[in-house]
Amino acid sequence: MTLTLTLPPKIEALLRQRAESTGQDITNVTLAVIAFGLSFDESDFFEALEGIQRGLDDLDRGQFSTLEEFVDRQNQKYGLSLEA
């Protein structure tokens, strides 16, 4: 089956970046992402999409933290001693 999708440039760029960073063909990465998304039940799927969109919106607004900051917060919150 052939299906043609028009993706927002941001999503296409993310797919291309993932394909390049993993040495995969963009078609294989896209199929894996779609299959992964379809593996969720309906409510989990839409909750995950909303969370991803919030994260992308935060990134666009420059509201993000480094991995080190995230690890520090998790260490403090849960009494862990992880390193980034």
Residues 8, 19: contact at Cβ < 8 Å?
Answer: no
Which of the four pLDDT bands, split at 50, 70 and 90, describes residue 9? very high
Residue 83 lies in a domain: no
Report yes or no on 27 lying in a domain. Answer: yes
CB 45 within 8 A of CB 37: yes
Would residue 21 count as lying in a domain?
Answer: yes
Whether the pLDDT of residue 84 is over 80: the answer is no
Instruction: Tell me how many domains the chain contains.
Output: 1
pLDDT at 17: 95
Per-residue model confidence as pLDDT tens digits over 16-67? 999 999 999 999 999 999 998 888 888 888 888 899 899 889 988 988 888 8
Tell whether 42 is covered by a domain: yes
Asked whether residue 1 is domain-assigned, the answer is no
CA distance 28 to 55: 24
pLDDT given for residue 16 in this prediction: 94
pLDDT exceeds cutoff 90 at 12: yes
What is the pLDDT, as a whole number, of residue 1?
83
- Exposed (0-12), middle (13-18) or buried (19+): which is 71, by Cβ within 10 Å? middle
> How is the chain split among helix, strand and coil, in percent rounded to 5?
70, 0, 30
In a domain, 59, yes or no: yes
Tell me the residue range of the domain where 24 lies: 9-78
